[in-house]
A and B are shown apart, each in its own frame.
Chain A
Amino acid sequence: GNSVTQMEGPVTLSEEAFLTINCTYTATGYPSLFWYVQYPGEGLQLLLKATKADDKGSNKGFEATYRKETTSFHLEKGSVQVSDSAVYFCALRQNTGFQKLVFGTGTRLLVSP
């Protein structure tokens, strides 16, 4: 079946540090890939997405590239801010048939000043 694996957290960084949160997936065919973010006390928000191989999703300084050869969708940001502290979820969705989201376990990011 489909699954998503994310790196364990928490990830603790100082402000302006470089961020990478690893995400790999297992799926048949060509799923769409997503990063969702959950800020403290808030609901899930879509951060970025990519729908086909080699696509790069980007938003708010975050980027992730759909790598089919390595079945990965790693999240990166060049310079994190305290306000980026949140839980980040990688997810996939099949583009045929039933299209539920399959989520990773989430990675908590803590950014200190």
Chain B
Amino acid sequence: GAGVSQSPSNKVTEKGKDVELRCDPISGHTALYWYRQSLGQGLEFLIYFQGNSAPDKSGLPSDRFSAERTGGSVSTLTIQRTQQEDSAVYLCASSLRTSGAGGSGETQYFGPGTRLLVL
């Protein structure tokens, strides 16, 4: 079946503008994660959605960042008033579930990412 898809693949924006990044998880996956990959910071967790539970936003770097997940499927990550330090590759991942140890249900499958450049 189809993997995780993300759009756009590349985004160039001016400092101060808002951007929206989209993630389509694998069908049937209840857990969805956003990560950021930037030079000097490596891969950082941003936010996590599990089913209808309240998202865990503990990784969001500032209140300019927000995310939502509609209908338990597609997710949108929004960055308001972008800054140059927001330039990074934003990765989305999904998994079948997050509870329990072992088994393929826990594996997180990553999308190709959105490369964001803030000028």
Chain A residues packing against B (C-beta within 8 Å): 32, 36, 42-46, 49, 51-52, 89, 91, 93, 95, 98-106
User: Does B42 lie within 8 Å of A98, measured CB to CB?
Assistant: no
- A91, A99, A103: most-surrounded residue (chain B CB, <10 A): A99
User: Does B42 lie within 8 Å of A103, measured CB to CB?
Assistant: yes
CA distance A91 to B42 in the complex (A): 12
B103 to chain A, nearest CB (A): 8
Contacts of B35 in A (CB 8 A): 101, 103
User: Does B101 lie within 8 Å of A103, measured CB to CB?
Assistant: no
CA distance A43 to B42 in the complex (A): 14
CA distance A36 to B56 in the complex (A): 23
User: Does B91 lie within 8 Å of A100, measured CB to CB?
Assistant: no
User: Does A106 lie within 8 Å of B112, measured CB to CB?
Assistant: no
Partner of B112, one of A42, A95, A99, A103: A42
CA distance A102 to B48 in the complex (A): 13
30 A-B pairs (CB sep. < 8 Å): A32-B102, A36-B110, A43-B112, A43-B113, A44-B91, A44-B110, A45-B110, A46-B107, A46-B108, A46-B109, A49-B107, A52-B102, A91-B43, A93-B106, A95-B101, A98-B58, A98-B98, A99-B98, A99-B106, A101-B35, A101-B43, A101-B93, A101-B108, A102-B45, A103-B35, A103-B42, A103-B43, A103-B44, A104-B42, A106-B43
